[in-house]
Amino acid sequence: MKREGDGATPSGVWPLRRVLYRPDRVLRPRTALPVHAISEQDGWCDDPLSRDYNRQVGLPYRFSHERLWREDHLYDLVLVMGHNDDPAVRGRGSAVFIHLRATDDGPTQGCISFAKPDLLHLLSRVDQRTTVVI
């Protein structure tokens, strides 16, 4: 049972929703999934008390959230999985993404990470019928 902040990757079968990318750092990826550029005003709500829990939000935002526009490169390219989003159950985990791997190859906080060439290759082969099995 996934819980907010537990650092675990949730087991299950998850659909793919859309791709987010940072246009000042990467080109728009080629994929059959919906693609959206992020900006400095984009975040992701991780506060179970918010009605926007586990959703993309505009910043500034009064509840707890992650900034999508980061100094590191992890969220330069993000594949949004359909974990806990239909509907979102408060406290069952938010912002479980497939994103770029850290340069130190360290663990994620529950997400899945790939090297940039591998994630771009993956994106070129998936569509809205694709699922991720964990």
Q: Is 67 in contact with 46 (CB distance < 8 Å)? A: no
Residue-level pLDDT at 18: 98
Q: b/e per residue, 94-105, with b = 16+ CB within 10 A?
A: bbbbbbbbeeee
Backbone angles phi, psi at 42, to 5 degrees: -105, 135
Residue-level pLDDT at 91: 97
Residue-level pLDDT at 68: 98
Q: What is the mean pLDDT of residues 16-22?
A: 98
Q: What is the mean pLDDT of residues 57-67?
A: 98
Q: What is the mean pLDDT of residues 35-41?
A: 98
The number of helix segments (H) and strand segments (E) in the chain equals 1, 9
**% of residues, the chain, pLDDT over 90:** 96
Which tens digits make up the pLDDT trace of 67-123? 999 999 999 999 999 999 999 999 999 999 999 999 888 899 999 999 999 999 999
